[in-house]
């Protein structure tokens, strides 16, 4: 039995959790889900990788009233990558309830966001800047917001978003539930919570098995005459990780290190803020899916990025502050896995690293540069690993797609199609009920409809010969991606 049933959640939510294989709440979920369901204000200090996103995603989805057209919940988050990831998690949880989630962030089309907001939108996930644009231009209706979540609050403060967050909060209805999530609790956050939260419950998750405890933390001291690049290569061969994330402090360093590691024959990609948003999203997606297993990145990847099994995190450059260190190493040992983090510390890094050592509750063990003997021993298996065909990973939402087929109809708003016309036509098909229809996205000249419960193939076939709103329409399957095909063949 799914233990989330104890929270009294709607059947549609439980079904989604079953597909996601979330059968038992994590520590943070045990506390946060019931409190948010009751509408209590919260301050939550919890580790990344603890199931934090679902801890607010589940109650947000549960509390959504489907009929309401204006957004009812708002999640504020510092980066676009995180916004997309949260959207995906909430979308999955709300899949059977047909919850519409819209992401608002910069460097992506303002107009298409405006268009989507005009359609029914239940939950908005946003970065503060773009949300403020929508607020000031009057393109978002916030009057129905019941719950607001501030995620990664410490990072938003570090990025200088305080004023923007305050402006957003002032634009929201007075009666609302608010929860603030932060891995660390700097003074500024305590101040903000005093101003905007009502008698908040303070929740600190200190489970016996926190992420940090499952990470073996090590560092290598690098002398002035030694080359970091050479030592990194040695570490890669000696550790021979199945997957690894290597952090640098600057874009230039990311480029240099990527080039160096390519010389070792590694299939490695890079991620930094100088890349186009489209490329950044694609790289993260391909990394998650396992098309490649090694990534060199700046801190754009330190927060939240949830790749199931990164076995080794390397700090090629030591981060400037201890909080970033915690976030970086938290990319490994996700959800009960274990992992390793190695920092390369030279005289430039000494000061930052001393601060990290002081702030850490856990031991960071000094280890020496891998010996030549160890490298010789591993060379063969390292080389072999680099030539293997990548083993693709199943994305979290993947199992939904086996039951849910998205179909495309070549008619939309401009041809006077309305959601009711689509529902009407679908319900005339033998064996179809309204329950089998998922999210409907009505665009200008296209409509996308999700058909649930494995009935997609039957519906697709029937619609080839059945008119919708009095006319035959071109209807095709829209969601078999190259990735799904690759995964089947893999």
Stretch of 50-58, 147-155, 169-177, 321-329 contacting ligand AMP, by CB under 6 A: 50-58
CB of 334 vs ligand AMP, minimal distance in Å: 6
Taking CB under 6 A as the criterion, the residue among 334, 340, 408, 473 binding ligand AMP is 334
Question: Which residue, 23 or 472, is less far from ligand AMP as judged by CB?
Answer: 23
Stretch of 46-54, 136-144, 145-153, 385-393 contacting ligand AMP, by CB under 6 A: 46-54
Question: Which residue, 25 or 456, is less far from ligand AMP as judged by CB?
Answer: 25
Question: Which residue, 90 or 404, is less far from ligand AMP as judged by CB?
Answer: 90
Binding-site size for ligand AMP (CB under 6 A) equals 16
Question: Which residue, 58 or 222, is less far from ligand AMP as judged by CB?
Answer: 58
CB of 244 vs ligand AMP, minimal distance in Å: 18
Computed from CA positions of residues 346, 350, 355, 361, in that sequence, does the dihedral angle turn out positive or negative? positive
Taking CB under 6 A as the criterion, the residue among 12, 19, 22, 239 binding ligand AMP is 22
Question: Which residue, 141 or 242, is less far from ligand AMP as judged by CB?
Answer: 242
Question: Which residue, 325 or 448, is less far from ligand AMP as judged by CB?
Answer: 325
Question: Which residue, 2 or 415, is less far from ligand AMP as judged by CB?
Answer: 2
CB-CB contact of 405 with 479 (8 Å): yes
Question: Which residue, 401 or 453, is less far from ligand AMP as judged by CB?
Answer: 401
Ramachandran bin of 194, using left for φ above 0, alpha for ψ from -120 to 50, beta for the remaining angles: alpha
Stretch of 20-28, 70-78, 168-176, 414-422 contacting ligand AMP, by CB under 6 A: 20-28
Question: Which residues have C-beta within 8 Å of that of residue 128, sequence separation ≥ 6?
Answer: 76, 156, 161, 164, 165, 168
Q: Residue 334, CB half-sphere, CA atoms under 13 Å: how many? A: 19
- How crowded is residue 428: how many other Cβ atoms within 10 Å of its Cβ? 11
CB of 304 vs ligand AMP, minimal distance in Å: 6
String of contacts with ligand AMP for each residue 392-431, x by CB under 6 A: ----x-----------------------------------
String of contacts with ligand AMP for each residue 51-70, x by CB under 6 A: xxxx----------------
Q: How far is CA 340 from the centre of its chain?
A: 22
441 DSSP β-pair partners: 448
CB-CB contact of 59 with 31 (8 Å): no
Angle at 121 between CA 120 and CA 123, to 5 degrees: 160
Question: Which residue, 220 or 333, is less far from ligand AMP as judged by CB?
Answer: 333
Q: Cα separation of 390 and 285, whole Å?
A: 14
Stretch of 21-29, 127-135, 445-453, 469-477 contacting ligand AMP, by CB under 6 A: 21-29
Strand order from edge to edge, sheet including 339-345? 268-271, 294-297, 244-247, 312-315, 339-345, 215-221, 365-367
| 335 contributes a contact to ligand AMP by CB under 6 A | yes
> Rounded to the nearest 5°, which phi and psi values hold at 252?
-60, -45
CB of 46 vs ligand AMP, minimal distance in Å: 8
| 48 contributes a contact to ligand AMP by CB under 6 A | yes
Q: Cα separation of 168 and 150, whole Å?
A: 11
> Rounded to the nearest 5°, which phi and psi values hold at 58?
-65, -55
Taking CB under 6 A as the criterion, the residue among 9, 16, 33, 49 binding ligand AMP is 49
Q: Cα separation of 459 and 454, whole Å?
A: 10
Question: Which residues have C-beta within 8 Å of that of residue 31, sequence separation ≥ 6?
Answer: 55, 203, 205
Residue 339 parent element (H or E) = strand 339-345
Question: Which residue, 83 or 369, is less far from ligand AMP as judged by CB?
Answer: 83
| 243 contributes a contact to ligand AMP by CB under 6 A | no
Question: Which residue, 4 or 294, is less far from ligand AMP as judged by CB?
Answer: 4
| 50 contributes a contact to ligand AMP by CB under 6 A | yes
Q: Which two tokens stand for residue 270?
A: 């890079």
- Residue whose C-alpha is closest to residue 364's, from 231, 240, 212, 237: 212
Q: Cα separation of 366 and 226, whole Å?
A: 17
| 26 contributes a contact to ligand AMP by CB under 6 A | yes
Residue 387 parent element (H or E) = helix 372-387
String of contacts with ligand AMP for each residue 279-308, x by CB under 6 A: ---------------------------x--
Q: Cα separation of 386 and 289, whole Å?
A: 17
Decide the pairing of beta strands 177-182 and 42-45.
parallel
**Footprint on this chain of ligand AMP (rule: CB under 6 A):** 22, 24-26, 29, 48-54, 306, 334-335, 396
């Amino acid at each position: 039995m799914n233990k989330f049933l104890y929270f009294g959640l709607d059947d549609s939510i439980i079904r989604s959790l079953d597909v996601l294989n979330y059968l038992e709440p994590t520590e943070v979920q045990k506390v946060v889900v019931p409190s948010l369901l009751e509408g209590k204000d919260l301050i939550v200090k919890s580790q990344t990788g603890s199931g934090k996103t679902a801890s607010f995603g589940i109650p947000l989805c549960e509390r959504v009233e489907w009929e309401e057209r204006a957004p009812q919940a708002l999640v504020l988050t510092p980066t676009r990558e995180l916004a997309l990831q949260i959207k995906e998690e909430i979308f999955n949880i709300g899949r059977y309830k047909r919850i519409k989630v819209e992401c608002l962030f910069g460097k992506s089309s303002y107009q298409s966001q405006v268009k989507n907001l005009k359609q029914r939108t239940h939950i908005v996930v946003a970065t503060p800047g773009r949300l403020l644009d929508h607020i000031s231009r009057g393109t978002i209706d916030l009057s129905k917001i019941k719950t607001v979540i501030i995620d990664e609050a410490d990072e938003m403060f570090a990025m200088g978003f305080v004023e923007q967050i305050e402006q957003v909060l002032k634009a929201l209805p007075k009666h609302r539930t608010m929860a603030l999530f932060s891995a660390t609790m700097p003074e500024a956050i305590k101040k903000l919570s005093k101003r905007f939260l009502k008698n908040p419950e303070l929740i600190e998750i200190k489970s016996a098995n926190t992420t940090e405890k499952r990470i073996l933390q090590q560092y290598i001291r690098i002398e002035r005459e030694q080359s970091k690049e050479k030592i990194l290569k040695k570490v890669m061969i000696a550790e021979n990780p199945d997957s690894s994330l290597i952090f640098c402090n600057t874009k230039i360093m990311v480029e240099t290190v990527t080039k160096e590691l390519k010389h070792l024959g590694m299939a490695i990609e890079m991620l930094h803020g100088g890349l186009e948003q489209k490329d950044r999203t694609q790289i993260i997606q391909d990394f998650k899916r396992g098309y490649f297993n090694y990534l060199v990145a700046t801190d754009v990847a330190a927060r939240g990025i949830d790749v199931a099994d990164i076995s080794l995190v390397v700090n090629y450059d030591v981060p400037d502050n201890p909080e970033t260190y915690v976030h970086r190493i938290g990319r490994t040992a996700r959800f009960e896995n274990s992992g390793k983090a190695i920092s390369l510390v030279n005289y430039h890094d000494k000061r930052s690293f001393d601060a990290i050592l002081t702030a850490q509750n856990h031991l960071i063990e000094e280890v020496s540069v891998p010996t030549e003997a160890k490298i010789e021993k591993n060379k063969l298996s390292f080389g072999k690993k680099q030539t293997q065909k990548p083993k693709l990973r199943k994305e979290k939402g993947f199992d939904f797609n086996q039951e849910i087929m998205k179909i495309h109809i070549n008619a939309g708003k401009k041809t006077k199609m309305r959601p009711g016309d689509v529902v009407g036509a679908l319900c005339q098909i033998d064996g179809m009920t309204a329950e089998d229809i998922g999210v409907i996205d009505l665009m200008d000249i296209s409509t996308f409809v999700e058909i649930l419960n494995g009935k997609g193939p039957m519906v697709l076939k029937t619609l080839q010969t059945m008119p919708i709103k009095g006319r035959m329409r071109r209807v095709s399957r829209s969601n078999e991606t190259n990735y799904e095909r690759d995964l089947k063949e893999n």
